[in-house]
Amino acid sequence: MDRVVITGIGVVSPVGLGVEAFWNNLLAGVCGIVPITRFDTAGYKAKLAGEVNDFRAEDFMDKREARRMDRYCQFAVAATRMAVEDAAADFTGDADTVGAYIGSGIGGILTLEAEHQKLMERGPGRVSPFFIPMMISNMASGAVSMAFGIKGASYCPVSACASGAHAVGEAFLAIQRGELTACLAGGAEAAITPLSLAGFSNMTALSSADDPALGLLPFDRRRAGFIMGEGAGILMLESLERARARGARIYCEVAGYGATSDAYHITSPDPEGAGAARAMTRAMAQAGLAPREITYINAHGTGTQLNDAVETVALHRALGEAAAQVAVSSTKSMTGHLLGAAGGIEAAASVLAVYGDAMPPTIHYEERDPACDLDYVPNTARRAPVYAALSNSFGFGGHNASLLFRKYEA
């Protein structure tokens, strides 16, 4: 099996567009969570979100094409273009062996709500003929394949908040098996909409804070729910042979991937953390790494009371005594929770941590919780050698995914 490496990164996020802005702002502890501007939140308990407010689709694609895409799909194409340019990739001659694996937990809900309103107010004849292809979750991978002329496998994992991580992991396995030589993989989401906000809020998953500094507080005793975010994170994965042949810059190696199911509850994690721990253990086993060799963990860290406590249990279970020494942080404290895109941008953060020997912080961390007793890199980024990093993503329905990135060594 060939080794798999990361050669390009593209990010659309609430803390910046492009890999440089994204990474610099994460290390600076910049908070992208703001009061919602898209619609009137009067009557809503939740009023904050991680909005992407400096994005212009026409900077990345033809205006006519952009009008036929939901916002989540625009994000995916834009982030992919960034990743392709960052990798200096050219698919001439091997497009049949390059894939597009782009997950989305919710897909085109913005389009769904807009077209449903047309139906109710103006009748069925006014619903757009582009409604279905704009709404369906697989269209991001389809649009990316068309935009870049790549003709290998193209599909969309839909596993709630683990979608983006599953996409990267499955792309890694496909390249390892020799089915693909390269793959553009990650996640995209744009679900900051009235219906979506109401649904998540009414199930008591969202924070009702008005102050962004009190919004999403991963692992802090005061945590009271997550804040929705939006964006996309796409990685360019390549076989080491392909990357070397074209003289590509290599960020790091994809060394392991674990995917499991809790088989426990539709929204709550298994309180024993068994499924999450098995995902991490499988990723480490595939990489041939011991727990003591893990330097940094980009946690799922949603800022909900139960999830953060259970993830801490899972970390202890997977790492044993080494859990006390590993640095853990939740970049959701800055970006909000990007749902199906979370695994994509958090994988990007983990790759950059390994490549740049720096660990982004968990911001707004003030009050220690006895149930969350690890080193959460509070408030300030940490500069130190990072040999190996785990990126965790866990979704409603009990979906668990853990990705392991390791320093590239020739």
Q: Catalytic amino acids?
A: 161, 300, 337
Dihedral angle at the C-alpha atoms of 222, 224, 226, 227, nearest 10 degrees? -90
Q: Are 388 and 289 in contact (CB under 8 A)?
A: yes
State how far Cα 322 lies from the chain centre. Answer: 26
Q: Give the whole-angstrom CA distance, residue 34 versus residue 225.
A: 15
Which amino acid belongs to residue 23?
W
- The answer for residues whose C-beta is within 8 angstroms of residue 82's C-beta and 6 or more apart is 8, 9, 10, 11, 12, 17, 18, 19, 234
Which tokens in the block code for residue 8? 């390009």
Which tokens in the block code for residue 130? 């582009």
